[in-house]
Amino acid sequence: MPAAYGDLLAALLALLAIAALRSSWTLAIPLVWLFNVEGTLDLLNAFYQGFTNNVLLGSAYYIPTFAVPALFVTHAMIFAMLIRRTR
């Protein structure tokens, strides 16, 4: 359940950040930072919960083996763009 709520919050923050960027809101960049930090922490929490609770994934095994690493790369790219923008 906590991982699902984290995913929901990350999705809502992502949509809000997209809308803010498209509309050129003054809070657009802080919203992107908030989304990216929350999304990264949510992925780390999901990994921790999966390893400590011996979760059996069955056919959903592709999620942590393919999708999650791709999400980490995406978050790293966003962090790099945000840091480069602040310089």
Query: pTM for this one?
Result: 0.85
Find the mean pLDDT for residues 13-17: 97
Summarize pLDDT for 24-66 with one digit per residue, the tens. Answer: 999 999 999 999 999 999 989 888 887 788 777 777 777 777 8
Task: Give me the pLDDT at residue 2, please.
Answer: 67
The residue with greater pLDDT, 50 or 68, is 68
Cα 38 to Cα 48: distance, rounded to the nearest angstrom: 15
**C-alpha dist (Å) from residue 2 to 38, 42, 45, 76, 83:** 13, 9, 9, 23, 29
